[in-house]
Structure 1
Amino acid sequence: MRKVRKKEKVYLPDPKFNDPFVTRFVNHLMKNGKKNIAYKIFYNAMNKIDAIKEKEEKSALDIWKEGLKNAMPHVEVRSRRMGGSNIQVPVPISPNSKITKSMKLLISSSSIRNEKTMANKLAYEIWDAFREQGEAVKRKENIHKMAESNKAFSHFRF
């Protein structure tokens, strides 16, 4: 093979939940290398989710993982030049990229919400994604709709 496979990055577990996915999420949440602030935002969001949930017997971490799963796209469209025009070709996403894309969708859609603090924005967006509502799930559905509408070009996969 010409291309060398990229080594999969190993994430250390976070201090509170002892979960490497939390560390990965916090790394995406972090800005300007301020990881402690990102951890505070995430942990405050988890505490807020604990306060929000009414009759749910799941923990806040389980709600977060379910919300990530609900915001996870399975296909995406990539632009490909065929003849003189660009066409959108639907391509399945690798499992590692699915997780990354869902984390980034949750963070970006929570940052445009109207709550006061980032922890509240993140908590409510995670809660909405858990209930299969919210902006992150809508964006995922838009990605799927674009792939569905361009299904005719799926044989141009590269």
Structure 2
Amino acid sequence: MSRRTTSKKRIIVPDAIYQSRLVNMLIVRILKNGKKALAQRIIYEALDIIKNKTSLDALHVLEKAIRNTTPLVEVKARRVGGSTYQVPVEVRAYRGTNLALRWLIRFAHARSEKNMAMKLAYELIDASNETGSSIRKKEETHKMAEANKAFAHYRY
């Protein structure tokens, strides 16, 4: 991180089909080796699978999944007098969304379905129904923050 100037936050443009910033953020998170067309195909296939399986609006399911997996608090390591404390800190909205997207993709990779589009679709469906690995990760993060509530006065 530069000491001279603060980095400017990039403006997220909506994707081509759904006109949604969330879909574009998901495409960027799933992107590997600069193959954006492949990432888009995976996302759009996953959204089509969601639409067929649940007969609900795929974008609505995606938004609900991200809302359900977004953490409210997390712990950050803070050194005070030679010892390190896990200090609970509230999560800002943008970081919470990023964490939710990261967890959804990570746990979708770990699933055992046929291809990445199906893995992602089923992970999103599970997250929107408040089940699945990404929801468990959110609850684990909240438990960690709750357990270390005694060190909240070290917040910065």
User: Would you call these one fold, judging by a TM-score over 0.5?
Assistant: yes
Q: 1:100 and 1:3 mapped to 2: Cα distance? A: 26
- 2:129 corresponds in structure 1 to 131
| 1:86 partner SS | strand
TM-score, structure 2 length as denominator? 0.94
Write the deviation string for residues 58-117 of structure 1: whole angstroms up to 9, x where unpaired. 401100100000010111101111223211000111111111111101100110001110
User: Given the alignment, which residue of 141, 150, 154 partners 2:152?
Assistant: 154
Q: 1:68 and 1:81 mapped to 2: Cα distance? A: 32
Return 76-85 or 88-97, whichever deviates more: 76-85
Number of matched residues?
154
- 2:80 corresponds in structure 1 to 82
Q: Identity of paired residues, percent?
A: 39
CA distance 1:124–1:156, change in 2 (3 Å):
same
- 1:69 corresponds in structure 2 to 67
5+ unaligned residues in a row in structure 1: which ranges?
A: none
5+ unaligned residues in a row in structure 2: which ranges?
A: none
- 2:113 corresponds in structure 1 to 115
TM-score, structure 1 length as denominator? 0.92
- 2:15 corresponds in structure 1 to 14
Aligned amino acid, residue 105 of structure 2: I
